[in-house]
Amino acid sequence: MSDAPTTPDGRYLMVRGRLWRKANPALSPQEHDTLVDALMTARRDVGAALRAQDAAAEHAARARVDAAKRALGERGPVWWDDGAPDLNRHMAANTPYAAWARTER
């Protein structure tokens, strides 16, 4: 997703026309990297739990994915403070970013 276009305000990536909230830029590089490592480990653990058909392990791993994404600022309360709504997972064409999105295709 690193090649995905970023909205002019830096809040979202656009992937296949859909907006995905970026991590909080106020995180230090070390904190960001630590959280991304935790996220990737949790995602691998989800896959392992699914392969093992271990519902309890899957639930725990998915909770760790959610916690890491919230700590990164990709889920939960928005990290900006100007009152703009959260458009995470919205189709860009249906948002105020529509004109920008048309130029990025």
Q: Per-residue pLDDT for the chain (105 aa), expressed as one digit of tens each?
A: 458 999 999 999 999 999 999 999 999 999 999 999 999 999 999 999 999 999 999 999 999 999 999 999 999 999 999 999 999 999 999 999 999 999 987
Confidence (pLDDT) at 2 = 59
| Nearest one of 11, 27, 32 to 89, comparing CA atoms | 11
12 located within any domain: no
Domain count within the chain: 1
Question: Could you tell me the pTM of the whole model?
Answer: 0.89
Residue 66's identity, in one-letter code, is D
Domain that holds residue 43: 28-76
54 located within any domain: yes
60 located within any domain: yes
- Radius of gyration over alpha carbons of the chain, in Å? 16
Rounded to 10 degrees, what is the CA torsion of 70, 73, 76, 78? 170
User: How far is residue 56's CA from residue 43's CA, in Å, rounded to a whole number?
Assistant: 15
DSSP code per residue over 9-68: TSSEEEETTEEEEPPPTTS-HHHHHHHHHHHHHHHHHHHHHHHHT-HHHHHHHHHHHHHH
99 located within any domain: no
Side-chain half-sphere CA neighbours of 40 within 13 A: 6
Confidence (pLDDT) at 3 = 85
